Copies of this chain bind each other. A is one copy, B any other.
Amino acid sequence: MFEKYGFSELQTPTLEYAEVLLGKSGTEAEKLMYLFKDPGGRDVGLKYDLTVPLARVMTQYPNLPKPFKRYQIQPAFRAENTQKGRYREFYQCDIDTVGTASPLADAEILAVISDSLTALGFKEFKIRINSRQILFGTTGDLNVLQSIDKLDKKSVDEVRDELKQKNISGSEITNIFAKLETAQPNDNLRQIIDLAQKLGAKNIKFDARLVRGLDYYTGAIFETLVTEPKVGSITGGGRYDNLIKSLGGPDLPAVGTSFGLDRICDVIKELNLWPDAVLTPTQVLVTIFSPELLDKSIELSIKLRQAGGGVELYPDDRIKLEKQLKYASQKGIPYVAILGPEEIAKNQVTVKNMFTGEQKCLPESELISFFS
């Protein structure tokens, strides 16, 4: 889907110089970085995200055609305490358009999100959109915005209590909530939403309570939620027109989003969106009845493979058939072909469906056309 929209793949090295990695991040991120000296004595570290390498590429290759549209699906590394859904090495998946401030670029990112999730089988998703300008029209207090950010997990009363504990006055809290209630998308946001819908994006909802990375987003911010299962946001992004420059790169506006691959996989699994997903690329295991009949099995495996499918020939001719069937079952191979003397005499093949246990004998040609 990324390529269908003209995003080209970028891969960057696992290692970056430490000064590149540390440029953006405060001490909080630094604690989670794998920094070390390489055997040549250089200060290096493992990629922490895909945005810093993107900024480095834009600096190092100033003549890349702009707008520069890239997708990148590569591991990032964080020295976290591991838990479900949080790993020290994990795949990040980003798309970004660098070098244009046009709202059309923002809208296109939303369309790619919507089309990608739809293609994956997602039906119930909601793309929340807000902007930095609207948020700062509500309050300039980052401390307050941090609490507002929790409104998708906590009740209004809980957030009110939290604000009170932060010494925000009752009238100020009422004022903030009133503003959140009545906030409307500004012109820029209206234009982005309108264009995104024209581009085919579904389920976009303006939400004045959406807060994201206010230290680097400069315009629109957006994230995608699913109602079931409760996994938090599965995409997150926005416009960041100053970030590349602040990382020491050229002054280029940019907009993009991350896809949370691990969470997306969790949803696919939980909702069984890919019921036909297979454990193995092999559709059929061609067994070997005996060393004398090996050639027959080799020939059948070649014919079936030429017909197109994933075909495994059991790689040892001195193993009992029973054990070969057990292997197919352990590996989740759906079909097994058996070519014994009886089958060969009749010019047929016995096929066993390993899920149902059903077994039948059919002409070789019929088996081949079944797998082609």
Contacts and interface: CB of A to CB of B under 8 A. Distances in A.
Interface of A: 3-8, 13-15, 31-34, 36-40, 46, 65-67, 69, 75, 77, 79, 88-89, 97, 100, 102, 104-105, 108, 195, 198-200, 280-282, 285, 294-295, 298-299, 301-302, 305, 309-313, 315-318, 327, 330-331
Nearest to A301: B199
Contact of A14 (B4, B65, B75): B75
A295 B200 CA distance: 12
Contacts of A298: 195, 198-199
A90 to B, nearest CB: 10
Contact of A37 (B33, B36, B301): B36
A254 B4 CA distance: 42
A28 to B, nearest CB: 13
A39 B66 CA distance: 38
A102 B317 contact: yes
A209 to B, nearest CB: 29
Contact of A302 (B14, B38, B199, B294): B199
A14 B315 contact: no
Contact of A38 (B15, B37, B69, B79): B79
Contacts of A102: 315-318
A330 B32 CA distance: 39
A98 to B, nearest CB: 10
Given A4-B309, A310-B6, A316 B104 contact: yes
A311 B4 CA distance: 6
Q: How many subunits of this chain does the assembly comprise?
A: 2
A310 B14 contact: no
21 contacts: A3-B281, A4-B281, A4-B310, A5-B312, A6-B280, A6-B311, A8-B282, A13-B89, A14-B89, A34-B38, A38-B79, A40-B79, A65-B331, A66-B327, A67-B315, A69-B315, A102-B316, A102-B318, A195-B298, A198-B295, A199-B313
Contact of A65 (B79, B318, B327): B327
Given A4-B311, A8-B281, 9 more contacts: A5-B311, A6-B282, A6-B310, A6-B311, A7-B281, A14-B14, A34-B39, A67-B316, A69-B312
Contacts of A40: 79
Contacts of A88: 15
A310 B311 CA distance: 32
A312 B6 contact: yes
A104 B309 CA distance: 21
A34 B40 CA distance: 10
Given A34-B39, A75-B14, A280 B316 contact: no
A8 to B, nearest CB: 6
A316 B100 contact: yes
A104 B317 contact: yes
Contact of A316 (B34, B105, B299, B315): B105
A318 to B, nearest CB: 7
Contacts of A79: 38-40
Nearest to A331: B65
A37 B45 CA distance: 12
